[in-house]
Amino acid sequence: MGTDKALIGVDGRAMAVRVAEALDRAGAADVVCVGGDLEALAALGLAAIAEPEPGAGPVSGIVGALNAAGSGVVVVLACDLLDPSADAIRSTVGALGPAQLAVPVSAGRRQWMHAAWRAEVSEHLRAALSRGVRAVHDAAEGLETVEVPGVPAAALADADRTGDLPTGSTLPTSMDVPEIDIDELERRRDEGATVIDVRQPDEYEEAHIPGARLIPMTDVPERVEEIPDDETVYLVCGSGPRSQRAAAWLLQQGHDAVNVTGGTQAWIEAGKPLATGTEPS
> Hey, which residues are catalytic here?
237
Whole-angstrom distance, CA of residue 47 vs CA of residue 17: 11
Rounded CA separation 193/89 (Å): 48
Query: From the centroid of its chain, how far is CA 80?
Result: 13
Q: How far is CA 2 from the centre of its chain?
A: 18
User: 188 — phi, psi (to 5°)?
Assistant: -70, -35
Residue partners of 236: CB distance under 8 A and separation at least 6: 185, 195, 196, 197, 198, 209, 212, 243, 260, 263, 264, 267
Q: Return all residues near 268 (Cβ < 8 A) that are at least 6 apart.
A: 207, 274
Residue 208 near residue 275, CB atoms below 8 Å: yes
Short-list 259, 118, 272, CA closest to 187: 272
Alpha helices in the chain (DSSP H): 15-26, 38-43, 58-69, 86-94, 122-130, 136-139, 153-156, 182-190, 201-206, 241-252, 263-269
Q: What is the CA radius of gyration of the chain?
A: 22
